[in-house]
Amino acid sequence: MQRENKLKITENNATAVVEFVLLGFSDSPKLHWLLFGIFLLIYLIILLGNGVIILITRLEPTLHTPMYFFLSNFSFLEICYVSVTLPRMLMDLWTQKGTISFFACATQMGFFLVLGAAECFLLAGMAYDRYVAICSPLQYPLIMNHKVCIQLVTGSWIVGLPVQVGQTVQIFTLPFCGSKHINHFFCDIPPLLKLACGIIVVNEMMVYILAVLIVIVPFMLILASYSRIISTILKLPSNTGRVKAFSTCSSHLTVVFLFYGSAGITYFHPNSYQYEGTDKLLSLVYTVLTPMFNPMIYSLRNKDVTGALRKFLPRLFKF
How high is the pLDDT of residue 111?
94
CB 275 within 8 A of CB 184: no
Examine residue 13 and state whether it is found in any structural domain, yes or no.
no
- Of the pLDDT bands very low, low, confident and very high (cuts 50, 70, 90), residue 12 is very low
How high is the pLDDT of residue 62?
83
Q: Domain of residue 237: give its range.
A: 18-318
Q: Is the pLDDT assigned to residue 301 strictly greater than 70?
A: no
Examine residue 272 and state whether it is found in any structural domain, yes or no.
yes
Q: Is the pLDDT assigned to residue 36 strictly greater than 60?
A: yes
Q: Give the CATH number of the domain where residue 253 resides.
A: 1.20.1070.10
Examine residue 229 and state whether it is found in any structural domain, yes or no.
yes
Residue 55 gets the label, from left (phi > 0), alpha (psi -120 to 50) or beta, of alpha
Examine residue 111 and state whether it is found in any structural domain, yes or no.
yes
> How confident is the model over 77-136, as pLDDT tens digits?
999 999 999 999 999 889 888 899 989 999 999 999 999 999 999 999 999 998 998 888
Q: Is the pLDDT assigned to residue 196 strictly greater than 90?
A: no
What total number of domains does the chain contain? Answer: 1
Strand partners, 99: 21
Examine residue 4 and state whether it is found in any structural domain, yes or no.
no
Q: Is the pLDDT assigned to residue 3 strictly greater than 70?
A: no
Examine residue 129 and state whether it is found in any structural domain, yes or no.
yes
Q: Which residue has the higher pLDDT, 233 or 248?
A: 233
Q: How many angstroms separate the first and last alpha carbons of the chain?
A: 76
How high is the pLDDT of residue 300?
62
